[in-house]
Amino acid sequence: ALLMILLVVFAAVDVPLQRLMLAKRLKMSHQEVKQEQKESEGNVEAKGRIKARMREMAKKRMLAAVPKADLVVMNPSHYAVALKYDEGQMAAPRIVAKGADLMALKIRDLAREHKVPVLQAPPLARALYTHGGVDRGIPARLFSAVAQVLAYVYQLRAAMAGRGSMPNELPPIAVPVDLDPQTAEAAAAGEGDNDHDNDHDNDSDIDAPAQADNRSPTDKTSA
């Protein structure tokens, strides 16, 4: 009888105690879940801010490289690609900056400000922008096209420095059809060469304001 009484008393005390402890654990779990959600939301926001800062820093570094570029290739306002080539240090010309629309205009204006030649070569500009990466060498299949614009710029600089005659107008620069997104898309759709940018691909020449700058090689290399 005494044992039964003790068991009843123990049960009467233990059951409420277990319920109290369970409620406490549930409350703590709920608080922990809320805290975890809060921390997770904070982490997402923090990561977003970090990514935004990194993008802004990358953009500033890219624009800072434009004054030291050898030339900028455009079509004529939608895309701009700045190229640099140091024969002694680079295996191939390198893209130091690229941009579309407003960023393209910013690259163009910065190049003009620092007397970096700006050339209109729409197919090449589109191909480099689409298939090239910043701080990377140009695609191998564009070597020939880039070599043509580099040779033109070198001849232009030599003429401005009094070491030769002024080159003729830059001839049209051809690129593989599949590397120019515009002609590749037109070919895939069975269409003709329809330039929605009104770039007039056969009118590739040096940017008129750039000619008016009378820029010399020393102006550029001193940057």
Q: Are residues 141 and 43 in the same domain?
A: no
Shared-domain flag, residues 119 and 197 = yes
Check which CATH number belongs to the domain holding 117 and give it. Answer: 3.40.1690.10
Check pLDDT > 80 for residue 188.
no
Give the highest mean pLDDT range of 117-121, 181-185, 201-205, 208-212: 117-121
Percent of the chain, pLDDT > 70?
69
Is the pLDDT score of 173 beyond 90? Answer: yes
Q: Which residue would you say has higher pLDDT here, 85 or 195?
A: 85
Neighbour count for residue 217 (Cβ, 10 Å): 17
Domain housing 27: 17-58
Instruction: State whether 33 and 81 are in the same domain.
Output: no
- Whether 130 has a pLDDT exceeding 70, the answer reads yes
Single pTM value for the model: 0.65
Tell me if residue 84 falls in helix, strand or coil: strand
Co-location of 131 and 44 in the same domain: no
Minimum mean pLDDT among 84-93, 125-134, 213-222: which range?
213-222
pLDDT tens digits, 22-34: 666 666 666 676 7
Q: Which residue has the tokens 């910013």?
A: 106
- Nearest residue to 144 via CA among 122, 119, 124: 124
Mean pLDDT, the chain, rounded, equals 79
Q: How many CB atoms lie within 10 A of CB 48?
A: 10
Overall domain count for the chain: 2
Same domain, 143 and 80: yes
The rounded Cα 222 to chain-centroid distance in angstroms is 26
Looking at per-residue pLDDT, the higher value among 83 and 191 belongs to 83
